[in-house]
Structure formats: structure tokens, C-alpha cells
Amino acid sequence: MRRDLWRGARALFLPTLAVLTILAFLPGWLDVAIRVYALAVSGATLAVMVAALRRAYPPTRPLRTAGRRLSGARRESPAMLARLEQEVVLGSAGSFDLHHQLRPRLRGLAAELLTTRRRLSLDGDADHARELLGEETWGLVHKERLPPEDRLSRGMPPEALNRVVTSLERI
């Protein structure tokens, strides 16, 4: 702290000398000189305070170092996750986004899960698929589902989307 005060006083030496010179040789400019000097004193005070604060709080460390890079497959994963999160948010906000963005993703998941786990086709074995998926999920993923009449209406609530995901997980 004392070192910072000494630096501040050294920084004010030249402006103080300039004010004293103006006082002695140009008394008509004293008003302007005092205002400039007050600005210099404020700047030096601010610099001393910032230096004290920087010492009081430890420096922050970045969570990841700049040299450490992730592999290519892991770099894409967060982007895909962000895209999926965006689709879910938009699907719960509006029926248009639910039908044209989230529904195709859920339909693809349902078709793949039914094929790999139960050896059923989503469209070919519609009765079995409907029984396994449940009415709520089937109403969302079946191929005859019509687009919403009101494109601006509310989408599917998060609780209902949670139930759909749970039914997909149960396959």
C-alpha cells in the first residue's frame, strides 16, 4: 500500500509543479490549472485504489488453459447438445417448432429405438409401436400427425416432454 501511495505522489509531482508555475507566472489561468490538477489527482487516486484492489483479491484462473484442446469428437458434442436444447425450448414454446423441429428428432429416435431394441418398425408395426410408446408419445411421433392449425399456439409443456422422453427410455 505504501509503495502505491509513493507511486501516486511521484505521478503528481509534475502536475503540482505545473500548477505552481502557473500560479507564479500566469495567474489568469489558475482556474483552469486547478481543474486540470483536480483531474490528475482523481486519476492518481483511482490508480492507487485499483492497485490496492488487485492486491486484495487473488487473480482468477481460467477453467481451461489455452493450450489444452479437446478432441474433434468432443468439440462437436456441446454444439449438438446446444442444438438439441434449443429444439426442446422452441418445441415447448411454440407448436410450429414442436412439429417441424423437435418432432422429427423424436420420431427418428423412436424409430431407431423400436428397430434396435424391439425389431419393430414405427410405421410398419403401428399397433405394436403405439402400444409400446403410449398414447402421448404416439400422438407426437406418428406419421399422420397434422401440422398445427395455429402456428403461434403454445407447444408441448416441459412435463409432457418429460413423459415422452420417459416413454422412449422405457422401450
In the chain, % of residues over pLDDT 70: 91
Tally Cβ neighbours within 10 Å of residue 58: 7
Q: How many of the other CB atoms lie within 10 Å of CB of 44? A: 19
Query: pLDDT tens-digit profile of 87-137?
Result: 999 998 999 999 999 999 999 999 999 999 999 998 888 899 999 999 999
Contact 134, 110 (CB under 8 A): no
Confirm if 30 and 22 have CB atoms less than 8 A apart. Answer: yes
Q: Tell the residue number behind the cell numbers 403410449, with chain if given.
A: 134
Q: Which three cell numbers stand for residue 24?
A: 507564479
Cell of 124: 410398419
Mean pLDDT of the chain: 86
pTM value? 0.53
How does residue 160 score in pLDDT terms, banded at 50, 70 and 90?
very high
C-alpha cell recorded at residue 169: 427410455
Q: Which residues contact 104 (CB under 8 A, 6 or more apart)?
A: none
